[in-house]
Amino acid sequence: QRIEWRRLKFAPSLTKDGVSHLITANIGTPADLQAVLDNGADGIGLFRSEFLYMDADNWPTEDQQFSAYRDVVAKLGDQPVVVRTMDIGGDKGLSYLQLPDEMNPFMGYRAIRISLNRTDIFRTQLRALLRASAYGNLWIMFPMIATLPELRQAKQIYREERQKLIAASIPVGEVRLGMMIEVPAAAVLADQFAKEVDFMSIGTNDLIGYTMAADRTNERVSYLYQPYNPSILRLIKNVIDACHREGKVAAMCGEMAGDQIAVPILIGMGLDEFSMSASSILKTRALFRRLDSTQMVDLANRAINAETNEAVIRLVDETVF
């Protein structure tokens, strides 16, 4: 089977009936690049930028960040590289940033909430990203957006830094701007958000936890961490439909994008881009080739009307496996 998958390294990511989707990779550091290339990814759908901050004992400089981003986009050529701005907080701390002592760090001061408070740090990262954008196909997305004013504020800061660079004759590329959908509030209002971004990427790891109010690392409630719960599936469908009504790209970069039970449903919902760990890419490309998208539309519609996580698993098993 693995040998069969290897043959798909240079194959397009098509379903049985020839519908094309992107299969991209999630990476945490530039060292992960080799696996991305070895597994024939269609690009990078999530470049977690935290490593730059977590591997250092002080804030990384603009130049340090610039060269890390540039190296990655340059290696990928025309393929898209989606960089997520700093997602510190929650379980990710920094020795040089005093975070408040909070009862619920995952519901606290993290990600875009820190960036919009420490705009000095946010501006440095955006400048580094903009400069790197001249070397490839770089997209930027903001994590943990909950409200439109947050998104607008982040975009405004981005535009200001872009204008400053252009005024200084520093080359910048065409950047696509997007947001992650990790907070249920944003998934519900996806129609409004979709008018103001170029793309959305659904972060199911957090979205499932917040929607089910269950921490997957807490064993007593981990049974509630249910990726296929129809409530989750309906939120995902709402986001994909909202993107498509506005002609925007709908992506997913949580674990669910490479999950073999979820993939048939997501194909049926018309998800454009599936971003996953490099080791799942070829297996998923092989699965795509077995799926007929019209049949998957029907499967997805039945899944969102099912009652439980288990019922959805049975439905996919009967239809696909």
| Active site residue ranges | 253
Partner from ligand PEP, Mg ion, none binding residue 204, C-beta < 5-8 Å depending on class: ligand PEP
- Pull the structure tokens for residue 230: 């129809």
DSSP code, position 60: P
- With binding defined as CB under 6 A, does residue 206 bind ligand PEP? yes
Rounded to the nearest whole angstrom, what is the least distance from the CB of residue 215 to ligand PEP in the complex?
Answer: 13
- With binding defined as CB under 6 A, does residue 182 bind ligand PEP? yes
Q: Is 305 annotated as a binding residue?
A: no
Q: Which residues bind Mg ion (CB under 5 A)?
A: 182, 203, 206
Max CA separation in the chain (angstroms): 60
* Cα–Cα distance for residue pair 190/180, rounded to 1 Å: 11
Binds ligand PEP (CB under 6 A): choice among 254, 258, 264, 268: 254
* Cα–Cα distance for residue pair 77/303, rounded to 1 Å: 38
Q: Is 240 helix (H, G, I), strand (E, B) or coil?
A: helix
Backbone angles phi, psi at 57, to 5 degrees: -110, 10
Rounded to the nearest whole angstrom, what is the least distance from the CB of residue 254 to ligand PEP in the complex?
Answer: 3
Q: Is 298 annotated as a binding residue?
A: no
DSSP 110-125: -THHHHHHSHHHHHHH
Q: Is 159 annotated as a binding residue?
A: no
CA dihedral 26, 30, 31, 37 (to 10 degrees): 60
Partner from Mg ion, ligand PEP, none binding residue 254, C-beta < 5-8 Å depending on class: ligand PEP
* Cα–Cα distance for residue pair 267/288, rounded to 1 Å: 8
Binds ligand PEP (CB under 6 A): choice among 13, 65, 204, 226: 204
- With binding defined as CB under 6 A, does residue 253 bind ligand PEP? yes
Cα 197 to chain centroid distance, Å, stands at 14
- With binding defined as CB under 6 A, does residue 73 bind ligand PEP? no
Q: Using CB under 6 A, which residues numbered 46 to 65 contact ligand PEP?
A: 46, 48
Contact 48, 84 (CB under 8 A): yes
Rounded to the nearest whole angstrom, what is the least distance from the CB of residue 103 to ligand PEP in the complex?
Answer: 20
Nearest in space to 284 (alpha carbons), one of 252, 260, 248 = 260
* Cα–Cα distance for residue pair 191/246, rounded to 1 Å: 8
Partner from ligand PEP, Mg ion, none binding residue 284, C-beta < 5-8 Å depending on class: none
- With binding defined as CB under 6 A, does residue 232 bind ligand PEP? no
- With binding defined as CB under 6 A, does residue 272 bind ligand PEP? no
Residues 6+ apart with CB under 8 A from 83: 47, 49, 69, 129, 138, 139, 140, 141
* Cα–Cα distance for residue pair 140/149, rounded to 1 Å: 18
Q: Is 26 annotated as a binding residue?
A: no
- With binding defined as CB under 6 A, does residue 203 bind ligand PEP? yes
Partner from Mg ion, ligand PEP, none binding residue 127, C-beta < 5-8 Å depending on class: none
Beta bridge partners of 47: 27, 83
Partner from ligand PEP, Mg ion, none binding residue 60, C-beta < 5-8 Å depending on class: none
- With binding defined as CB under 6 A, does residue 29 bind ligand PEP? no
- With binding defined as CB under 6 A, does residue 277 bind ligand PEP? no
Residues at the binding site for phosphoenolpyruvate are 48, 84, 205-206, 216
Residues at the binding site for Mg(2+) are 182, 206
Binding site for ligand PEP (CB under 6 A): 46, 48, 87, 182, 203-206, 253-254
